Amino acid sequence: MGIFSIFSKKEKKEVLDAGLEKTKTGIFDKITRAIAGKSKVDDEVLDNLEDVLLTSDVGVDTTVEIIHKIEERVARDKYVGTAELNKILKEEITALLTRSGNDDAEDFEIPAGRRPYVIMVVGVNGVGKTTTIGKLAYQFKQAGKKVYLGAADTFRAAAVEQLCIWGERVGVPVVKQQMGSDPASVAFDTINSAKANDADVVIIDTAGRLHNKVNLMNELTKIKNVMKKIVPDTPDEVLLVLDGSTGQNAFEQAKQFIKATEVTALAITKLDGTAKGGVVIGISNQLKVPVKYIGLGEKMTDLQPFNRSEFVDSLFNDAKL
């Protein structure tokens, strides 16, 4: 039984629909204007649709790819009415996300037989990194997992304090050291304690700095190497947290972090407060790193596993085109 079995599919869908409402409304309004007075998808409609996708922060390369796919279908089918455009968009965007490695996740899963399962979380300050860690800890604990948190962002006292608050709120231990301590030492202590206490999941917070990529890369590499001394092949996952409300800035941050370390999955937060949810599509397609979680609100249950089909359905369902 998955974690989300404590919520109905209807409740999950309601959270998703509400979280994407601003993006959904923005896209529909723009598409409606783009096809006004048109009965078929012609060059003018395609040009207008391109503008819609670009202003929804889908990104240039992904937009070009989507438009090219629609052009191919128009050429093949000879006549494509504007009433079909919504259906075609859903199909082509879902296909893009499929090729990017995104699976239809149902809940917060960790592989069987891997204890502790270690997640190292990276991302710049202010993107919702610590909050995402707290919500993940909550979800894993709800599934009956024993969770440890490591406060390895030792350069900001606020980061350690915030993680400790989340630890108390969720009811999971937080391993910390003094301000300015070696982050790798904190990670070492966390893994050590987690292993000694037979924990299932370890989540390590790291400092969010991009101003010096060399130092960042060295720091993250050192943390990884120290953890491997206790649990080989650690971390199991490097999760990059991005703020979806920043649009293309999130895309640029993702590119920089992927250069600095081996990112294996993405969490895109704050989608409920923005009309820029299209950035999820572009980031996933262009960077070929799967989106694993999306943040849709403030509540602990508003962090959802990313399901490409449900995401696209939520964006493009009930379109009045």
**pLDDT digit string (tens) for 105-150?**
567 778 877 789 999 999 988 899 999 999 999 999 998 999 999 9
Each residue's pLDDT tens digit, 234-258? 899 999 999 988 888 888 888 888 8
Q: Give the position of tokens 């499929």.
A: 98
Dist. CA 292–CA 110, nearest whole Å: 12
Burial string for 210-226 (b: 16+ CB within 10 Å, else e) reads eeeeeebeebbeebbeb
Q: What is the pLDDT of residue 308?
A: 86
Q: What is the pLDDT of residue 223?
A: 92
Integer distance in angstroms from the first to the last C-alpha of the chain?
39
Kindly tell me if the per-residue pLDDT of 301 is higher than 70.
yes
How long, in residues, is the chain? 321
Mean pLDDT value of segment 12-37: 82
- Selected residue with higher pLDDT from 203 and 272: 203
Q: What is the pLDDT of residue 100?
A: 58
Q: What is the pLDDT of residue 107?
A: 72
- Selected residue with higher pLDDT from 24 and 204: 204
Dist. CA 26–CA 66, nearest whole Å: 18
Q: What share of the chain has pLDDT > 90, as a percent?
A: 36
Q: What is the pLDDT of residue 212?
A: 59
Each residue's pLDDT tens digit, 25-66? 888 778 888 787 778 888 888 998 899 888 888 889 999 999
- Selected residue with higher pLDDT from 283 and 37: 283
Q: What is the pLDDT of residue 120?
A: 96
- Selected residue with higher pLDDT from 174 and 22: 174
Ranked by mean pLDDT, the top range of 6-10, 65-69, 309-313 is: 65-69
pLDDT category, 320, cuts 50, 70, 90? very low
Average pLDDT, the chain: 85
3-state secondary structure of 84: helix
Kindly tell me if the per-residue pLDDT of 321 is higher than 50.
no
Secondary element (H or E) of residue 126: none
Q: What is the pLDDT of residue 6?
A: 47
Dist. CA 228–CA 20, nearest whole Å: 39
Q: What is the pLDDT of residue 189?
A: 96
Q: What is the pLDDT of residue 4?
A: 41
pLDDT category, 1, cuts 50, 70, 90? very low
Q: How far is CA 311 from CA 1, 114, 147, 273, 278, in A?
A: 22, 29, 28, 16, 11
